[in-house]
Every structure is written in C-alpha cells, then in structure tokens.
C-alpha cells in the first residue's frame, strides 16, 4: 500500500528526517513510536502531501504520491495532531463537508456520515453543533472526518492526546476495526500501552531516523534489557562505578545490568548511598526496548513536534 523510502526533511538547521523508510500493507497497523520532535509528524505530513520532502520517495499503491497529490489525497485520510473541526457546524455537516472535499458523490455523503458517526459513537450527536461537544467527542469527530471517504491509508497523529479514558478505548477499537476492514493505518503516539493494545507493528523513530521495527515480541526479544538505573546527586568516583559493574548513561546516572534489589544497591554504595536520588528497575518490556534502541526513555519527552 505505502512504501516511503529515504525521506529527508530539514527546517533550517534542524534536520527532522534523515533518510527514514516506512512501509505499510493493507490491513496493517503501524505504530510510529517516538518522543516529541523525533520526526513522526514530519513523516506523516510528507506522506499526506502536506510537506515536501527534501529527498526520498513516497509510493502509494504503486504510484508516486508526491507527484500525483490529487490521486493520493483520495486514498489517504489524515487526522492531524491538533483537533480541526468546524465548531459552528453540526457533527453531520462536518462529516459531510470533509466527504465532499474528498470527492465523495452527493448521493453517498449522507450515508457515509451516518456510518462513521455510528462507528465512533456519535450517532446521537449528529445534529449537535460540533462546538458544543465535549473534548473527547470532538476528538472522535476529528478522527471521523479523516475517514469519511473510506481511505485506503489512514494516518492518525497522536489521536488520543488530551482524550479521556473512554475516548481512548473507543479510538483504539475503531483503529483496529478500520484495519480489519482493510485499511492500512499509521498511528503515531508516545503511549506504549496504546501500541500494545493495538497489537501494531512498531516502528521506533528517533532523531529523524527509523531505528527499529517489529512486533512487540520481536522487539523485546531483539532489544531486551533489564537491570537497574539509578541517579546520584554527584558523579560517582570511577572506582565505585567499576566495582558496581555499572555504565554511565547520563550525568550522574548509571545502569547496572543485573536486576538487583534497591537494598542491595544501597549496601553496595555504602556511605555514598546518601547521595542516591532515584532508582528505577528496567524490565524486558517495550519501555526497555525503547531505552535500548534510543538510549532514552519515552517519558519526559519535550514539547513540540516535528
């Protein structure tokens, strides 16, 4: 369905994508996992034709999507990161407008709007002003507007940001249903539990590069990590680092490959344990995979997206 190869993109001095590749087949869900600023949004914006890549190709169903934007737009549905709906229009009018914009014939628009509303739990709200919906309902409508023309490739950019628990669950179910119905789905997120719930193929992206790809189990198998990571007030003397068998990961932060209890670590640090700031256990899960692949944790990502 989609084969994107060697995508590069710079914003001035900032290189947002450095030769990133991505492919998705029909019925497949690919989760783009990365911190804010990793290049996720840039990548899907290029695929959707919203941004021009500096280099690289985007082949969609066998044709060059960057050269035939009109044809590509009929196959792609994108829900950008920020909720974009018309508050002064009703839910139905929003859905019908975006269907119209995508070239859905008038005779089918009404039915499509009703169908999408039903799938997203918005049937009762069809004639309510979109501006009067709750944040979660707006988020669902925002997503619905991306697929009212039944795209073959659905791209959702952090669809659950700011959504409540019920909306998150609903959106996850909806994405799975879309894939089961044959759509290829690209789902960007930095929520690991969503990636696991989607049972998606995971693409880890960092600093504009795709660093790893596979199912959760494959990635855990390939990049499993466990042990303890701890932070000190000041740097430990080199001989202590050596005695602990630790490696330095960041300023005054160390990692021990063995999964030792906190008490044992305190004992090994001796008097220096007074300077112990925090201890975290690393388990062989997706979080540790991300840590192993990128050298950083997914949580604590800075604001802003590229």
Partner 1 sequence: MDAARALIGVQLRIIRRDPWFLVIMFGMPLVVMPLFVKTMKLSLQAEGFADATGAEQVVPGQVVLFGFMVSGSVAFSVFREHGWNTWDRLRASAASPAALLAGFGVPWVLIHVFYQVVLMVVGGMFVGLRLRGSVIAEFLVIVAYSVCLIALVLLFTATFRTINQVQAVVNLGAMLFGGLGGALVPLEQLPGWARAVAPITPSYWAMEGHRAVFLEPGGLADVAKPVGILFGAALVLAAVAVKKFRVDETKEFFA
Binding of residue 116 to partner 1 (CB under 8 A): no
* Residues numbered 22-61 forming contacts with partner 1, rule: CB under 8 A: 48-52
Contact window for partner 1 (CB under 8 A) among 88-96, 183-191, 198-206, 216-224? 88-96
> Minimum CB separation from partner 1 for residue 25, in Å?
22
Binding of residue 205 to partner 1 (CB under 8 A): no
Which residue lies nearer to partner 1 by CB, 84 or 182? 84
User: Which structure tokens are listed for 72?
Assistant: 């590509």
Which residue lies nearer to partner 1 by CB, 39 or 49? 49
Binding of residue 72 to partner 1 (CB under 8 A): yes
Binding of residue 257 to partner 1 (CB under 8 A): no
Binding of residue 261 to partner 1 (CB under 8 A): no
> Minimum CB separation from partner 1 for residue 107, in Å?
15
Which residue lies nearer to partner 1 by CB, 48 or 186? 48
Binding of residue 17 to partner 1 (CB under 8 A): no
Binding of residue 138 to partner 1 (CB under 8 A): no
Which residue lies nearer to partner 1 by CB, 103 or 182? 103
Binding footprint of partner 1 on the chain (CB under 8 A)? 48-52, 69-70, 72-73, 76, 78, 80, 82-89, 93, 97-98, 100-103, 145
């Amino acid at each position: 369905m989609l084969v994107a190869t060697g995508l590069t993109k710079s914003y001035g001095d900032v290189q947002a994508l450095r030769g990133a590749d991505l492919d998705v087949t029909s019925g497949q869900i690919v989760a783009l996992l990365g911190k804010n600023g990793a290049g996720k949004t840039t990548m899907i914006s290029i695929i959707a034709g919203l941004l021009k890549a500096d280099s690289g190709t985007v082949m969609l169903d066998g044709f060059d999507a960057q050269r035939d934007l009109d044809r590509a737009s009929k196959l792609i549905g994108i829900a950008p990161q920020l909720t974009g709906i018309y508050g002064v229009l009703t839910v139905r009018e929003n859905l019908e407008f975006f269907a119209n914009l995508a070239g859905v014939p008038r005779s089918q628009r009404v039915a499509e709007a009703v169908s999408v509303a039903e799938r997203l739990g918005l049937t009762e709200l069809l004639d309510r002003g979109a501006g009067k919906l709750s944040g979660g309902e707006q988020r669902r409508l925002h997503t619905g507007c991306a697929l009212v023309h039944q795209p073959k490739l659905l791209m959702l950019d952090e669809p659950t940001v700011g959504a409540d628990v019920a909306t998150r669950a609903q959106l996850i179910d909806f994405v799975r249903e879309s894939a089961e119905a044959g759509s290829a789905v690209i789902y960007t997120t930095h929520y690991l539990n969503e990636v696991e719930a989607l049972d998606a193929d995971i693409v880890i992206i960092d600093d504009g590069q795709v660093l790893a790809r596979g199912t959760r189990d494959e990635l855990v198998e390939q990049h499993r990590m466990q042990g303890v990571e701890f932070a000190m007030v000041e740097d430990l003397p080199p001989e202590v680092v050596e005695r602990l068998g630790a490696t330095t990961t960041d300023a005054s932060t160390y990692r021990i490959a063995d999964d030792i209890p906190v008490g044992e670590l305190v004992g090994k640090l001796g008097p220096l344990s007074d300077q112990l700031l925090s201890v975290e256990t690393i388990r062989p899960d997706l979080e540790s995979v991300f840590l192993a692949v990128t050298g950083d944790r997914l949580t604590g990502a800075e604001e802003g997206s590229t």
